[in-house]
Structure 1
Amino acid sequence: MNLRDALKIRASEVTDETVYRDRRRLLAVFASLPALSLAGCADAEPPPASRTPVTPAQARAGFSTDEALTRYEDVTTYNNFYEFGTGKQDPSRAAKTLRTSPWTVEVAGECARPGRIALEDLLRGATEEERTYRLRCVEGWSMVIPWLGVPLADVLKRFEPTANAKFVAFTTLADRDQMPGLRVRSINWPYREGLRIDEAMHPLVFLATGLYGKPLPQQNGAPLRLVVPWKYGFKSIKSIVRIEFTERMPPTAWNDLQPREYGFFSNVNPDVDHPRWSQKTERRIAGDGAGRLFPQRIQTRMFNGYADQVASLYSGMDLKRWY
């Protein structure tokens, strides 16, 4: 299928597995296009607004859900991690080459205490918690995952970000010896993501080090990944090696590749369709233990169901513009 044909796919069809494979094939097409960047919006910030901070009780209400958990076997074998291949099962097979210890993270930019720090020191003093969050992929599928980890804000505050720190940028490891997918020019490696500083400090944002009570598997972003439950899954960057406080909006991988389809904010919003498929519903991934998936289609909720906790962050913003 070529790009012209792919763009003609009806919204009712694009959520099928065959269409996700078409999306992967499109990566090669996009990679051959002229470079796209955030030029012209690097300093973009939301309009001033009075935001009511989320209360501790509101935050705690978002830390768990009574929805059925996605099976561990499905969480760990149905993944997007293009550094290890573009197929859903590729990461679980190929990511065993990822060495997760020792692991260091560089902290840089607009902060008083920058430096390179070992993972165990980065997390020292933070209390490990379990949070059960919904994960909504931009492709139209979702899971419910019990994560282990620490609040991102508790880690970031230790580095004393300055008043100039308006955004937080994250970078994934990019090692061709460990990550065979880097040999394919699909994304402008390394993978990069970012949040506005108030988003990064929100109590829902989590640095995950495990899931289902076990250490985080390589294919799920070991040893350290971000979890931002009200945004599409590609915002929850994996295998983090760099955190930078910046004054300007940082470039991010998918937005850099195709900004018309993947916005910087990328909040889950059923009223804003992806240019090539609807976002009104999603396939909740479930399995039978034998590798066969039986997705259940459900309605997508604004902010992935976390509106009570995060809607105030975007008061006064045009949520369609800031997709």
Structure 2
Amino acid sequence: MSAVSFQSVSKTYRTPKGDFQALKQVSLDIEEGEFFGLLGPNGAGKTTLISILAGLSQASGGRVLVQGSDVQANFAEARRKLGIVPQELVFDPFFSVREALRFQSGYFGVRHNDAWIDELLDSLGLADKANANMRQLSGGMKRRVLVAQALVHKPPIIVLDEPTAGVDVELRQTLWHFIAKLNKQGHTVLLTTHYLEEAEALCSRVAMLKQGRIVKLSPMSELLKSASSNVLQFKTDSALPAGVAQRARVTGRIVQVPAADAADVEKLLAALREGGVTPEDVEIRRADLEDVFIHIMNEAAVKQGGAA
């Protein structure tokens, strides 16, 4: 039995401009103990899928099972098995951190939970904030409390929806160390993130969504293996020759160009020389998840555009 099973899930919203289909027949099984990544650009349908999983939104078609429990027909049972960290910073301003965690335990019928609460506070760097009012915390500290609230009832399945968006490096490292430990202990983790280096480091399998459809579902190792090309990376302030520019990804002064082999690298460097461009800090690296992601999204855009 899968930890989470999305079965032909569709979601249509009614808008003044007409119906908008956010999800289109999404089918996906996440196995017990997996660290699974759900990736896609803004508007791809990731948060809609998470909202349906959490029971906050109802699918227009299909169904979702959590360890065999239907999220609509058996909501309470399914919800007890989930620990969900939302994107938004939602908190009760009237309670201290420890009180908030005790109340959250109570929502799931968990009593005498102080030992686990203490472990959460310590593991997430909140021990010295245990008695602070939630209003006194920084955004990063509030994010840590959200993670602790999601885990306070020891759910077998942890859902992280952009958990490190806008937070500092220390929190990211603390969070991933703790979540990776829980995953090794058998917890299933579902992660959505725009930080692709996090997904590459943590996830054993990923699904990529675009415009409400799954366009790629693959083990991480196979996904990276399929990216046989290298990437020529350098810095420049000069305008790129047209032949290089149409292949390049430019971020400020940093230019990244896919290169099939050593001969291709030499052709690119020759084109730069002929164009009067002197590259700085030149390096050749293996393609990473970000390179693969951009390639797959571009391919999907062409196919979906043709289908339209």
Structure 1 or 2, whichever has the larger Rg, is 2
Normalized per residue, the structure richer in strand is 2
Normalized per residue, the structure richer in helix is 2
TM range (shorter): under 0.3
**TM-score normalised to structure 2 length:** 0.22
**TM-score normalised to structure 1 length:** 0.22
Q: Which has the higher contact order (CA 8 A, sep 6+)?
A: 1
